[in-house]
Amino acid sequence: MGVYERYLRYRIARHESDGPDHVALVITERDLLERGAYETLTSFFDWAMDVADRVTVYVSVLDREAIPTLRRELESLETADELAVRGPTDRSPAEAPIQIGIGLGGKHEFTTAVRTLSEAVDAGELEPAAIDAETIESRLVFTEEPDLVIKTGAERLSDFMIWQSVYSELYFTDVNWRDFRNRDFLRAVLEYCNRARRFGR
């Protein structure tokens, strides 16, 4: 670790605000085609888990046929913590410390959750009046809200965790994924610490 990285870590450690407990990252399938992309991703997991308890990565996908290949590659990653990968056809929650969604759009995830609730009501298993935010969250694939969402390459979010990220702090960097380093991650964490979270208020 270089001098600048140590300086950033010192600033974060000395900050009066707590760092994020849950960090999310938004990248694209094209990012994963770059040389060294998967090595950077495994390094990102280490960086993030050093300051947070949970990491979620969303890979936005234009070519749906690429999902099976991407999934195999991502599931084969060696990580220090348990990893769960979910795609568009998955309905079971991802409860591992490291979670990856491939082409699992937020609209699709939310629509699927609503559909399962409707089916439960239709089957007499659930009363409509009993449906609240907690009930909806329990039906989502990603059930926890990220504190910090990092988007590399452009100031534009994909269709990602539209329910969970409503109160998240968003951090956009023009650094492309192929060039993303620990110092870029630490800058995002320090920026998070410098913000006053309002949770919609």
Kindly report the pTM of this predicted structure.
0.90
Residues in the chain where the model's pLDDT stays below 70: 155-157, 198-201
DSSP code per residue over 14-50: H-SS---SEEEEEEETTGGGSTTHHHHHHHHHHHHHH
For residue 120, give both structure tokens. 């439960």
Residue ranges per structural domain of the chain = 23-194
pLDDT of amino acid 66? 92
pLDDT of amino acid 186? 97
pLDDT of amino acid 199? 64
**C-beta of residue 79 within 8 angstroms of C-beta of residue 127:** no
Residue 59: partners with Cβ closer than 8 Å, 6 or more residues away = 27, 28, 29, 31, 32, 70, 74, 100, 101, 102, 103
**C-beta of residue 185 within 8 angstroms of C-beta of residue 60:** no
Crossing angle of helices 3-14 and 182-194, rounded to 10° = 20
pLDDT of amino acid 1? 75
CATH superfamily of 23-194: Decaprenyl diphosphate synthase-like (3.40.1180.10)
